[in-house]
Amino acid sequence: MSSIKIRTKRLDGNTQIRTLISHPMEHGRNKDKTTNKLIPAHYIQVLTVTHNGKPIAICNMGAGISKDPYFAFLLKGGSPGDQITIDWVDNLGNKDSEKHTIT
């Protein structure tokens, strides 16, 4: 199952793209309560939003973003059938990608 959920909504001729990613977003300073050891940093570094194959937003982020990050973008125009793709890469090299079609 993909870690990314994408929802789109038409708003006054624009398209709102909302995404929810399930990711721990650990910044490396939290301690595991049972073992008393630091939890290693694990966070998304780059998030890319693509519209019909063209990147429209490239977000670089650190661990200052909450666990299970949520983002929203507003696309100018956009028509039903357009493809939205969201990709992320984290600091451990894991990645995921999800496609969505505007309805």
Partner 1 sequence: MKASRRKFLITTIAFSAAGIALFKSSLANAEWLSADFEPGSFDATMKQLLKGKPIVETDKIDLNIPEIAENGALVPITVTSSLKDIKNLAIVVEQNPIPLAIEAVLMPELEPFLSARLKLASTSFVFAIAETEKVCYSVKKKVKVTIGGCGG
Residue 96 interacting with partner 1 (CB under 8 A)? no
Subset of 20-49 contacting partner 1 (CB under 8 A): 24-27, 29-30, 39, 45-46
Residue 82 interacting with partner 1 (CB under 8 A)? no
CB atoms within 10 A of CB 23: 20
User: What type of residue is 99?
Assistant: K
CA angle 63/65/69 to nearest 5° reads 120
User: What type of residue is 93?
Assistant: G
List the beta bridge partners of residue 7. 18
The answer to whether residues 61 and 75 touch, using CB atoms and an 8 Å cutoff, is no
62 or 99: whose CB is closer to partner 1? 62
- Choosing from 54, 79, 81, 103, the residue that interacts with partner 1 (CB under 8 A) is 54
The answer to whether residues 28 and 41 touch, using CB atoms and an 8 Å cutoff, is yes
- Choosing from 36, 60, 79, 103, the residue that interacts with partner 1 (CB under 8 A) is 60
Residue 84 interacting with partner 1 (CB under 8 A)? no
Q: What is the DSSP letter of 66?
A: P
Q: Which residues bind partner 1 (CB under 8 A)?
A: 14, 18, 24-27, 29-30, 39, 45-46, 51, 54-67, 69-76, 89, 91, 93, 95
